[in-house]
Each structure stands twice: as structure tokens, then as C-alpha cells.
Amino acid sequence: MAALVVVSVPRTNGHGGADARVGIFPGGATPSVRSADTAFWIGYGFAPELGDAAGAVQELGEDTRFELDVDGRRVEMRTDVQIEGTARLRKTDLAEFPAGLPAGWHEFVGRWYDGGKLILSSRASIQFVER
């Protein structure tokens, strides 16, 4: 694999801090219930494998990405790339939900691509409730 999946990403701006993050990584702590109409975000990214800095620019290109669908619709992602010199050290794709989601069940489907090849997928259903 040309890149490692990075599951912990820092939030420097936008909606909510670490407690507002919803995780859907396979085997991770995905909530089964969440407050409706409350801001949250989902974000994952990639970093080049250790010792692979020479090829890092190619490995973290457009084809290396995280995609998210919510209730069958593709979500627009914000991409952040951390660069040092000419090497891309980290690429993160984030989806922000500043108004949250309405009450009810919502399905999240995440897909991680490395160089255009699907390497991981996840599906989670979360119930959003009025508080």
C-alpha cells in the first residue's frame, strides 16, 4: 500500500472540536445515537509510508482520497494538504455538517482510495434524536 490511513485529524477551524467528530472507521467507535441538529464533522486522510518520501507527491495525489455518502448522496469534501518542501506529508478530506442532521436514521458510507484503488470501505447507520 502506498499510503497509510490516518484516522485522527486535527480540527483547526470549522464546526466543533474533537468531541464533534463522528467516526465511521471499521472497528472504530461509531456512535449509534447522536443529537439531531447539532454540528459535527467526519474526516480521514492519508500519509506516505515511512521511507517513501521520494514518491510522496505522486502517492498523495487526487486519486488518493476519502469519499463520503450520507443517505445515498455524495458529500462535498474539503481537502487539506500538509506540504514540507515539495513533499506532501499528509492529505486530509473533511466533511462538515454545521447544522447537523435532522432527527431520524442516517446511513454513512465511507470509501478510502489509494492511487485510485479502493482499499477500504465502511457503512454505518446512526440514529439522530431530538434532545
Give yes or no for a contact between 114 and 46, defined as CB atoms under 8 angstroms apart: yes
Check residue 12 and give its pLDDT. 56
Give the domain ranges of the chain: 3-129
- Beta pairing class for 117-129 and 33-35: parallel
Rounded Cα distance between 13 and 24, Å, is 21
The listed CATH number (2.60.40.10, 3.10.129.10, 3.40.50.450, 1.25.40.10) that belongs to domain 3-129: 2.60.40.10
Indicate whether 116 pLDDT > 80.
Answer: yes
Question: Which secondary-structure segment (H or E) carries 56?
Answer: helix 56-59
Share of the chain above pLDDT 90, in %: 51
Q: Are 115 and 2 in contact (CB under 8 A)?
A: yes
What local confidence, expressed as pLDDT, does residue 3 receive? Answer: 59
Say if residue 17's pLDDT is above 50.
Answer: yes
Q: Region of 51 please: left (phi>0), alpha (psi -120 to 50) or beta.
A: left
Average the pLDDT over each of 46-55, 102-111, 113-122 and give the range with the smallest value.
Answer: 46-55
Across all residues in the chain, what is the average pLDDT?
A: 84
Query: For the segment 33-45, what is each residue's pLDDT rounded down to a tens digit?
Result: 999 999 999 999 8
The C-alpha atoms of residue 91 and residue 7 are separated, in whole angstroms, by: 12
Least confident of 25-34, 55-64, 66-75, 88-97: 55-64
